[in-house]
Structures are given as C-alpha cells and as structure tokens.
Structure 1
C-alpha cells in the first residue's frame, strides 16, 4: 500500500510539472523511481521513458488545442534528436553506474545555467523565425540526453526554445512536450530489445497519476502570465539542478 501511495504522489507531482511547465517532472521521475520505489537505475530510466511519453502525449493534446504549439520548430528540433536518442539509449545500458553519475552531474550544471539565463531581467520574448542551425544543434544534444539518461529533456528544451529560438514561454511549453514525446519514443525504441521487465504494478498507477496531474498542470498554467510562468519554470529548474547535484555528491 505504501508503495502504491508513493507512486501516486510522485506521479501526480511529475504530471503537474510536465503539464504546466513542459519539463522538470521527467528528470525527477528517475530519482523517485530509484530512491522511493526501489527500482534499479536501468529499470528507472526505462520506466521513466514510458511514464514521460504517455504523460507528454496527454498534455500535448491540450496545449495543441489551445494553439500553444510551434509545429515547425518542434518537429525540426525533435527530428534531429531521434538518431542521437536511439544511439545514446542503446549505449546507456552498457555503461557503468559511475559514468551515469558523472553524466547526471554535468546535466545538473547545464540545468542551473539554463535557469539563471531565464531569470535574467534583460530577456525579451520573441517569436521570430527558426534558425535551423541552432535548432539542429540544440535538438541533437537534447535527443542524446533523453536516450542516455532516460529523461524527457523538457527542462532543457524549454530554456533552449525560449532563450535560443526565442519562442514565447507558453508556446515553448507546448512545443517542448512535442519534442519530449518524439525523443522519448525514439529512446524507448532503442531499449525495446533489451528484454527488461518492469514492475507494472508500480509503473501503471505512477503513469495514471502523472496523466491526471498533467491535465491539472495545463489548466493551472493557463491562469499564469507568460513572464510569471517563465520565472516559475526557472525556479523549479534551479531546484531540480540542486537536487541532482546533491544526489551525485551523496
């Protein structure tokens, strides 16, 4: 019963983050599965991809219906990340835990830098044309992160979409969900042949709670101004980075 409650609570929190902010929840799923629910790192990264994919699709539908989705940008961003996600997903299963720990530390540092960039008062939202080179480089890197560490990458995709590609925050949130969905599916495809068995008695309620949380997060985000939403995302991102660094140091 305790395991079920933990799965439901963790899933709801992660769903809220994904639905409302377009990221941040997925990177918390892996440590939640490991430290709260007893999954091994390999099981946690695979289960996280399942949870993130289904939850992101759910949230994506609502954001697309509201017009908060830059299809061209998102598809370009995600397309170049498919191959890196699949390659990294295949490689990740053969690496020692120490390598994954170092990778998480580097990821935490990137998350902190992205958050600080979004908090700069001089930042101005724009919805200009897509720069294919910038979109390609950012998308490829994000795909590799998704496949390697089993995170959806929205906590890095949103800052990239806002700071590099100059999307307004609301469109960045919806577009991030499209990128997360495609990258997560690619990474799952790379892991499909590993024969790993997941504990569906935990993964299923975790996912269900995340999906419900995503709808609530999306409704909540509609009530928040774009600039406030951006700052909220940045603070959540800083908290995630601190959590990841603390986990690596411990």
Structure 2
C-alpha cells in the first residue's frame, strides 16, 4: 500500500510538470523510481520512458484540438533525434549504474540552472523587412540539437522537454505556447524510440508500480495547465528547479559513494 501511494503521489507531480512546463517530468520520475520505489537505475530509466511516453501522448490531443501543435516542425525535429534515441537506448544496457546516475545528476543540475536563470529580455521590434520569405533556421543546428536531445533521451531515460522547449523557441521561432505543445510530440516520439531497444533486455517491468505512476501522471498533466495559469509559469519553474537541484545533489552523492 505504501508503494502504491508513493507511486500515485510521484506520478501526479511528474504529470503536473509535463502539463505545466512541457518538460521536466522525467527529471523527477527517474529519482522517484530509484529512491522512493527502489528500482535499479536501468529499470527506472526504462520505466520513466514508458511513463513519459504515455503521459505526453495522452496530453497531446488536447493541445492539437487547440491548434497549438506544429506537426510538421515537431515531426522533423523529432526525426533528427529518433536514430540517436535508439542508439542511446542500446548503449544504456552497457553503461555502469553509477555512470547513469552521475550523468542524470549532471543533466538535472543543467535543467535546474536553465529554469532558475533570468529570462532573456524580449527583442525590440524589428524594422519592416523587405518582402520575401523569412530566413529559415540553420538545418545543421536544428539537426544537431535534435540528435543531442534524442541521445540524452535514450541513454538517461529523460524526455528532454526542458531542452526541446527552448530549442523550439530559439532555433525555430515558435511562440512559447506552441513550443510547449509541440515539445510533447517530440518527447513522445523520442521516448518511444528509446524504449524499443530497452524493452528487449529490460527484464521484468514492475507494472504494479509503473501502472499507478503512469495513471497519476496522465491525470496530473490535465491539471498542470490550470495550475500554471493560476500560479504563473515562472513560479512553477522555480519550484521544480529547487526540487531538481536537491535531486541532482542526492544522485551525485550516491554515484560518488557507490
């Protein structure tokens, strides 16, 4: 009963993060599965990918109905990361648990730093440009960011929304609301690609933990958007960043001691 309650509570928090911020859920899911529900790192990262994939793809239709998903942009961005996510998922089978824990701790610290960093000031209005198509973002840079995101997804079991959202905004010039919605498509696709090589060697998936965790995450994602509107996205970012810093410190200490 205790494990069930912990899975439900942790899943709700993960869903809130995904629903409110378009990312950050898997950064909390992996440590919750390891330290609260006592899964080993390899099983925890596989379970986190499954939970994040289910949660993001369940939340996606609501954003699609609101016409916030840029399907072509999201699919192209995700396509760059799919081979890297598959490769990362295959390599994760050979990575020592301590290395996975340390790598995840570093990525969690990076995510917290990005969330706590000051907002960039809005650029001044540009002068009217000459008629013609808007300049396209660098395909090489877009492919590189998409591939890096996919590799992190496959290797460390993270959805990568905290990287996908700023990349979609800065590289592809999407408005924030559309970037959050489109990131769900990218996260879901990368998570599914990373699951393929993992499931064959994952062994027993603890469905008694994963099932309630995923169900609570799906319900939490529906409330995340309303919570963001009530508290403000910046407030939520700071709360999740503080949680991530605590998680990063705990996991890094664990990796060093073991």
| TM-score using structure 1 length | 0.88
Task: Specify every segment of 5 or more residues in structure 1 that has no aligned partner in the other structure, as ranges.
Answer: none
Number of the residue aligned with 2:253 = 249
1:125 is displaced (CA, Å) by 11
Distance in 2 (CA, whole Å) between partners of 1:135 and 1:220 is 31
Is the aligned partner of 1:144 residue 2:148?
no
Larger Cα-atom Rg: 2
Number of the residue aligned with 1:235 = 238
1:220 is displaced (CA, Å) by 3.8
Distance change >3 Å, CA 199–CA 68, structure 1 → 2:
same
Alignment of 1:66-215 (within 5 A): 66-115=66-115, 119-124=118-123, 129-215=136-222
Deviations 1:70-95 (A, max 9, x none): 22221111101001000111111111
Deviations 1:21-67 (A, max 9, x none): 11111110000001111111111011111111100011111111111
SS in 2 for 1:34: helix
Distance in 2 (CA, whole Å) between partners of 1:195 and 1:133 is 34
| TM-score using structure 2 length | 0.86
Distance change >3 Å, CA 197–CA 123, structure 1 → 2:
farther
Task: Specify every segment of 5 or more residues in structure 2 that has no aligned partner in the other structure, as ranges.
Answer: 126-133
Deviations 1:80-130 (A, max 9, x none): 10010001111111111232133224313432443355x334145999854
Of residues 211-220 and 232-241 in structure 1, the stretch that sits farther from structure 2 once superposed is 232-241
Distance change >3 Å, CA 14–CA 202, structure 1 → 2:
same
